[in-house]
Structure 1
Amino acid sequence: MPSEFNAPGLKRRKRKNGPAVLYWCARADLVKAGYRPETIRLSYTLDDPTHRDLISAACLKYQAEMLEWSSGRGRETSRFDGTILGLSRRYQTDEASPFRRLKHNTRTKDTYTLVIIEKAFGTRALAALKIGDFYRWYEAAKKPKVPGAPERVRRAYGIIKKMREMFAFGIMAELPECARLYAILEHARFAQPARRRITMELSHVEALVAKALELNRLSLAIGTAIQFETALRQKDVIGEWEPIPAGEAPSGIVLNGRRWTNGLLWSDLAADLVVRKATTKTGAFSAHDLKLCPVVLDLLDLVPIDSRVGPLIIDETAGRPYAESAYGREWRIVAKAAGVPDHVWNMDARAGAITEAEDAGADLDDIRSAATHSQVAITLRYSRGAVGKSRKVAELRQAHRTAKNMA
């Protein structure tokens, strides 16, 4: 394609038979922020020289509209046309919306659900909606992706939950129909996804560590061992990538416009090998003595002294912290090779740590504190199949019976 051919956003999609199909595609970051349409098919072909000017003009037009929206003029917060799409856009762009105060990773996940909602029934007017519409949408959303696959209850429930949040915002923004629809969903009942019951066990950790070392993936071995021994969340161990605020100069470790943050540093281990850090989810302070974690100690000893600077978990192939989703992807490859069942996920290390602690007879409030939970009820959700407390109760009952019979 000649360098003077100016067609921003132009993409080609090959076909088995016939010329490639041309599309104009919006910037990915603006699509995440709520811009629509994502793509526009162009009824031209690059094989015809007379079409080039038309292609360029169309792309420049669509690009200008997108950039105008990005500047703020195209997404005025006061606009609302009474549709689900209009409410969704207002929910995403109004500075007073709770959506604007979500953490970037939560906002990204929620945007995925909002896109589903907009595509499926964005044109529906709020005034025309009844309870039957919501039940019908829920049933359609939970259908298996392919015949015979499990129902997607989590997906369906997530859509209903997000619509409740949108209507709640609509009430605060004094938008018509939102109070009526929120009241409907407040009283309606939809099946929720079952709580996860899987835990990672010590045998899984040992198998994965051995295989990771065999495959020269020391980072995955260290990360998994720390997660299991300390009950720290994955992102508190390996870190995450956050957008750099507008107007702020890039600094630190930067990749694709995002800065690495929140992961463990070698300096966090200090001289006494006690990890002290504020956790990302709640800000609660966590402290763990790694000298009491022999699996972790053995792995740390494998890291050369001159490499013990900066992030603790480094992607061996890239020489920097793992890119978004790469840690989980590489972890699964090693786990599969180690014989760890597919239904055991990396995130199950936290539940495994809490379950093992309860089985060992640890006080439940001590476990809660170690896991940085605010309430014991939350800790109990992570204790999956532990028999520590029930064993203690059974032993006390047996002792009581013995004493009673001897009286």
Structure 2
Amino acid sequence: MIYARRLDDIPLFADEADIARAVLGPGRVAEWRAMAVVLEREGLPRVDPMMGRRCWPAVREWFTKRPAPARATPLPPPPTKVGATKGQPPGDAPGLKWRSRKKGRAAYWVARHDIVKKGYRPETVRIHFNPQEPDHLQEIAARCRVLQQEMLTWAGEGRAAAETRPHDGSMASLIRLYQTDEASPYRDIKWNTRRTYDQIVRYIETSYGLVALHEIGIRDIRRWYDQAKAPKDPRSPETTRKAHGVVTMLRRLFGYGVMAEVPECERLARIMAEARFKQPARRRERLDASHVTAFIASAIESGRLSLALGTAIQFETTLRQRDVIGEWLIDDGTAANGVVHKGRRWSDGLTFENISGTVIRKRTSKTGKVVEHDLSDLPDTLAELDLIPVDRRTGPIVLNEETGLPYTKLNYIKWFRIIARKVGLPDEVWNMDARAGAVTEALDAGAQPNDVMNAAGHTQLSTTQGYDRTSLQKASRVAKLRVASRRKSNSSGQPDPA
């Protein structure tokens, strides 16, 4: 449906302001730009790469022939609410949440919890804006309305309708198939992995979603890698980890496309199979025994026995952070018991039920392998466990003293850093480095690599070796062995013939 009455002055190739005036009415350019992202998935003619504008006759014909509005009906004018003077978007901004960040407030759209439980993704979307632009608040509100409508339409149409939309040959369309197809491996990944995947595919879709698959070649992929690697500040180091994540996701998307028989994906998968990109450097930091000892003492002194105990268990047993403190998942209502709070269910963490006598038995969340550790071999950890009152020895072991509930990951990391700074631990040393420190200490002490692999719950020795941080002890041991071998060889050797 076209809303403007006078269209004679719109050129053959129209800019977004012209089209916004024709489709929505005057003064709604920001809203049109946000809407166009959704409408393009339904077939709205895209911006011509040569002209940098849309072909107006094609746009007009598309709106004329378009069936009954479904996913992205032009939005009504926003209500005339006040709030811009207080830093709030004027008008209706459903789902908008402001969060404090180091560089100021950040705007997020958050999906409705009941619809997320039905499988809708994404759960949250960061809304980027420039506070120096006079209409940035209107743009935030418009983007929220589009995202809200997209979510509500998904809920009304159902997942099946979303999956039957035709593939238009673009990167964005491939991403949508990957996220919605019941046969996609995306359906089988855990929620926290899915959250990471969603962040990467949003970057790809925002940056290259309009690119047709048949136009993509190795030069494009190499250029995308270089763009993702380039830091925002030229003085900062390259973001190789981000760039590698992008190309890894491209491999994943094209691989899915081959399975789903999406045109061009087999060719692109072959290209990616031969392409090589610089990988991010391995972390070299580790949390060693001296760090842990100082940290535990300070944590107990600060009234944070939970942090002392959690860090000690991580270091002494080599358990992953998630296997000690657990994680908060969306509660789907299928479990009959457990810890539930604000629609989230705690899962995978260490409980007192995992301890029998002095032995901890825990099925790890990543590999599913069961690991066992005898606390009688770890007297310091056992002593800290004894500080917990007997009547509290049920359920999760590591509880936030402020809430009485298991920590969220972010809160655990926040409090770890507060205590770590008190004892002078560098910010480069993270809580998760306890695992690397434990593996390195074990190998430095002469433990058999296979024994360390089993203790860490790894299924491959190469994984264990990845946690081993090169240390002076190893270099010293190698040097001593070489010198001893050389002396032995010289002492047993025959004198040179005269």
Report if TM-score (shorter chain) is over 0.5: yes
Q: Output the CA distance in 2 between the equivalents of 1:292 and 1:13.
A: 65
Corresponding residue SS for 1:368: helix
Q: Output the CA distance in 2 between the equivalents of 1:187 and 1:290.
A: 49
Candidates 337, 342, 359, aligned match of 1:251: 337
Shift of 1:157: 1.0
Q: Output the CA distance in 1 between the equivalents of 2:445 and 2:82.
A: 58
**Structure 1 range deviating more: 248-257 or 130-139:** 248-257
* Residue 75 (structure 1) aligned with residue 137 (structure 2): no
Q: What's the counterpart of residue 316 of structure 2?
A: 229
Q: Output the CA distance in 1 between the equivalents of 2:195 and 2:234.
A: 29
Q: Output the CA distance in 2 between the equivalents of 1:112 and 1:13.
A: 33
Give yes or no for contact 1:99–1:107 (8 Å, CA) kept in 2: yes
Q: Output the CA distance in 1 between the equivalents of 2:485 and 2:152.
A: 80
Q: What's the counterpart of residue 137 of structure 1?
A: 224
Note the 1:104-253 alignment, pairs <5 A.
Answer: 104-245=191-332, 248=334, 251-253=337-339
Shift of 1:336: 1.5
Aligned length: 384
Shift of 1:256: 2.9
Q: Output the CA distance in 1 between the equivalents of 2:490 and 2:149.
A: 90
Corresponding residue SS for 1:169: helix
Q: Output the CA distance in 2 between the equivalents of 1:35 and 1:309.
A: 33
Q: What's the counterpart of residue 33 of structure 1?
A: 121
Note the 1:83-98 alignment, pairs <5 A.
Answer: 83-98=170-185
Candidates 295, 310, 319, aligned match of 2:404: 319
Q: Output the CA distance in 1 between the equivalents of 2:124 and 2:424.
A: 44
Q: What's the counterpart of residue 335 of structure 1?
A: 420
Candidates 351, 356, 359, aligned match of 1:265: 351
Give yes or no for contact 1:358–1:386 (8 Å, CA) kept in 2: no
Q: Output the CA distance in 1 between the equivalents of 2:386 and 2:160.
A: 57
Give yes or no for contact 2:439–2:467 (8 Å, CA) kept in 1: yes
Quick one: higher RCO (CA 8 Å, sep 6+), 1 or 2?
A: 1
Q: What's the counterpart of residue 90 of structure 2?
A: 21
Deviations 1:115-161 (A, max 9, x none): 11111111111112222221221111112133422211111110111
Corresponding residue SS for 1:89: helix
Q: Which amino acid aligns with 2:368?
A: G
Deviations 1:268-301 (A, max 9, x none): 2222x21011111101110111121122122112
Give yes or no for contact 2:284–2:469 (8 Å, CA) kept in 1: yes
Candidates 267, 273, 291, aligned match of 2:376: 291
Q: Which amino acid aligns with 1:193?
A: P
Structure 1 residues 403 and 79: alpha-carbon distance in aligned structure 2, compared to 1, 3 A threshold: same
Give yes or no for contact 2:110–2:124 (8 Å, CA) kept in 1: no
**Structure of larger gyration radius:** 2
Q: Which amino acid aligns with 1:280?
A: S
Corresponding residue SS for 1:325: helix
Q: Which amino acid aligns with 2:338?
A: G
Shift of 1:338: 2.0
Q: What's the counterpart of residue 52 of structure 1?
A: none
Q: Which amino acid aligns with 1:33?
A: R
* Residue 308 (structure 1) aligned with residue 393 (structure 2): yes
Shift of 1:107: 1.1
Give yes or no for contact 2:110–2:125 (8 Å, CA) kept in 1: no
Deviations 1:43-79 (A, max 9, x none): 9x99xxxxxxxxxx9999667425325x225512463
Give yes or no for contact 1:83–1:123 (8 Å, CA) kept in 2: yes
Q: Output the CA distance in 2 between the equivalents of 1:370 and 1:13.
A: 60
Give yes or no for contact 1:77–1:93 (8 Å, CA) kept in 2: no
Q: Which amino acid aligns with 1:257?
A: G
Q: Which amino acid aligns with 1:21?
A: P
Shift of 1:15: 4.5
Q: Which amino acid aligns with 1:148?
A: R
Give yes or no for contact 2:352–2:394 (8 Å, CA) kept in 1: yes
Deviations 1:85-109 (A, max 9, x none): 1100100111111111112211111
Shift of 1:169: 0.5
Shift of 1:267: 2.1
Structure 1 residues 392 and 239: alpha-carbon distance in aligned structure 2, compared to 1, 3 A threshold: same
Normalised by the length of structure 1, the TM-score is 0.85
* Residue 356 (structure 1) aligned with residue 447 (structure 2): no
Structure 1 residues 14 and 193: alpha-carbon distance in aligned structure 2, compared to 1, 3 A threshold: farther
**Structure 1 range deviating more: 219-228 or 389-398:** 389-398
Corresponding residue SS for 1:277: strand
Q: Output the CA distance in 1 between the equivalents of 2:289 and 2:450.
A: 23
Q: Output the CA distance in 2 between the equivalents of 1:266 and 1:179.
A: 50
Corresponding residue SS for 2:211: coil
Give yes or no for contact 2:244–2:280 (8 Å, CA) kept in 1: yes
Structure 1 residues 309 and 160: alpha-carbon distance in aligned structure 2, compared to 1, 3 A threshold: same
Give yes or no for contact 2:159–2:180 (8 Å, CA) kept in 1: no
Q: Output the CA distance in 2 between the equivalents of 1:346 and 1:60.
A: 37
Shift of 1:241: 1.8
Structure 1 residues 113 and 32: alpha-carbon distance in aligned structure 2, compared to 1, 3 A threshold: farther
Q: Which runs of 5+ in 1 are unaligned?
A: 1-6, 47-56
Q: Output the CA distance in 2 between the equivalents of 1:58 and 1:205.
A: 49
Q: Output the CA distance in 2 between the equivalents of 1:357 and 1:17.
A: 57
Shift of 1:233: 0.5
Give yes or no for contact 2:299–2:308 (8 Å, CA) kept in 1: yes
Identity of aligned residues (%): 43
